Amino acid sequence: MDKELTDYGAFQDSLGFDRPRPTWPEALKALWYDAKGDWGASHNIAQEIYSDLGSWIHAYLHRKEGDGFNAGYWYRRAGRPFPKISLDEEHRQIFEDVLGNQ
């Protein structure tokens, strides 16, 4: 993991890059593309992460897309309830989960 990426503020600063750092885990890359407004790239990465974390990112993306039914399926796969927080708050929670597990 990039040693300079220590918190969500640093992550947000990274949005000025042309692309995510190659050393980042795929989950972080998916979050980065989402934050850059590239839902498709984020989704393509998330659906290739075969874990609860990948399912959580996948769920978040479908929730953001407005597809509550599909999001609900992925939240269940991730073992998480459908969130009642904002998308921005959830994005940050996922980021912190990724950072905390590296």
Residue 27 has pLDDT above 60, yes or no: yes
Work out the pLDDT band at 88, boundaries 50, 70, 90: very high
Q: In terms of Cα–Cα distance, which of 45, 32, 38, 37 is closest to 94?
A: 32
- Determine the average pLDDT of the residues in 6-24: 92
Give, as one character, the DSSP assignment of residue 102.
-
Work out the pLDDT band at 102, boundaries 50, 70, 90: low
pLDDT recorded at residue 100 = 84
Q: What rounded mean pLDDT belongs to the chain?
A: 94
pLDDT recorded at residue 3 = 55
Q: What is the pLDDT of residues 33-68, one digit of tens each?
A: 999 999 999 999 999 999 999 999 999 999 999 999
- Determine the average pLDDT of the residues in 16-30: 94
Residue with structure tokens 């992925």? 74
49 Cα distance to chain centroid: 11
